[in-house]
Amino acid sequence: MSEDSLRLSFEFFPPKTDEGKAKLAVVRDKLEVFAPDFFSVTYGAGGSTRDNTKNLVTQFNALDTPVAPHLSFGGDDEAAIKALINEYKDAGVERIVALRGDMPSGVGGSYQLVYANELVAFIREHFGNAFELEVAAYPEIHPQAKSYEDDVRYLKGKFDAGADNAITQYFFNPDAYFYFMDQCAKIGIDKPIYPGIMPIINYRNLVRFSDSCGADIPRWLRRRLESFEHDPEALRDFGEEVVTELCETLLEGGAPGLHFYTMNQAEPVASIVTNLGLEE
């Protein structure tokens, strides 16, 4: 990155097929030219992608760009999670995105979710400062949060347990982020909180995903995107413009960097990063 102080990271999910894996290697190479601070690899609900996540992390780890696995307890016990973290440590991984995660679909009520602050505390207890720890933050508030105040307080709990940074759920309204930052500062959070940026690639998928994770698509944006529903090229051009402007506003307002949900595609993230002048 040209501006050394800004952190840039790109998130991938582990592909299931060999074709998907081959495609992702090309995407990774295209995004590596932007010299990100790290790539991250998601962890399926309940640990459903445990091996795929681990394999991708190991593969990426052989490259110059550091890689951070996402991790949650899922259905695993402490011994299994400790063994997995040990494998990451032995492989030279230095950063973990620590999450509670969600209930895998089709699993009954006996399934226990372990709050992210407990995973952070567990990693610090057993691995000291071997890893830089990232946690999730929600400027528009986690869908299951009892209240705004509670959610901000629980984020503080994750930092108090030893997290170093937070990465946010995506949002399209920069004021949600700036207001959230103010509320975090008010209760004493002084660690970096990096905005998560979702490129606009496919209208229907974006709406479905946003509804499920509680990310708001403002009415004006939803209506514009609707009008491009049958013109994917125009949708992408418009989406690139909107998300570039969002990133500019965030960086001008003091965001410490950007984390892109790439959806395993090089475009439009590459265009947005180029528009922002963040290329090497």
For ligand FAD, the closer of residues 31 and 235 by Cβ is 31
Query: Does residue 115 touch ligand FAD according to CB under 6 A?
Result: yes
Query: Does residue 209 touch ligand FAD according to CB under 6 A?
Result: no
Query: Does residue 212 touch ligand FAD according to CB under 6 A?
Result: no
Query: Does residue 42 touch ligand FAD according to CB under 6 A?
Result: yes
For ligand FAD, the closer of residues 116 and 272 by Cβ is 116
Smallest gap, in angstroms, from Cβ of residue 258 to ligand FAD? 12
Which residue has 């952070």 as its token pair?
A: 120
Smallest gap, in angstroms, from Cβ of residue 253 to ligand FAD? 20
Query: Based on the number of CB atoms within 10 Å of its own CB, is 70 exposed (0-12), middle (13-18) or buried (19 or more)?
Result: buried
Query: Does residue 266 touch ligand FAD according to CB under 6 A?
Result: no
In the set 3, 11, 229, 252, the catalytic residue is: 11
Catalytic site includes residue 267:
no
Smallest gap, in angstroms, from Cβ of residue 232 to ligand FAD? 26
Number of residues that bind ligand FAD (CB under 6 A): 25
**Interaction pattern, residues 60-99, with ligand FAD; x per rule: CB under 6 A:** ----------x--------------------------x-x
Query: Does residue 150 touch ligand FAD according to CB under 6 A?
Result: yes
Query: Does residue 154 touch ligand FAD according to CB under 6 A?
Result: yes
Binding segment (CB under 6 A) for ligand FAD, from list 41-49, 177-185, 245-253, 266-274: 41-49
Which of 116, 120, 197, 273 is in the footprint of ligand FAD by CB under 6 A? 116
Query: Does residue 142 touch ligand FAD according to CB under 6 A?
Result: yes
Smallest gap, in angstroms, from Cβ of residue 138 to ligand FAD? 7
SS3 assignment for the chain: CCCCCCEEEEEECCCCCHHHHHHHHHHHHHHHCCCCCEEEECCCHHHCCHHHHHHHHHHHHCCCCCEEEEECCCCCCHHHHHHHHHHHHHCCCCEEEECCCCCCCCCCCCCCCCCHHHHHHHHHHHHCCCCEEEEEECCCCCCCCCCHHHHHHHHHHHHHCCCCEEEEEECCCHHHHHHHHHHHHHCCCCCCEEEEECCCCCHHHHHHHHHHHCCCCCHHHHHHHHHCCCCHHHHHHHHHHHHHHHHHHHHHCCCCEEEEECCCCCCCHHHHHHHCCCCC
Peptide bond preceding 36: is omega within 30 degrees of 0, i.e. cis?
A: no
* Residues involved in catalysis: 11
Binding site for ligand FAD (CB under 6 A): 42-43, 45, 70, 97, 99-102, 115-117, 136, 142, 144-145, 150-151, 154, 157-158, 167-169, 196
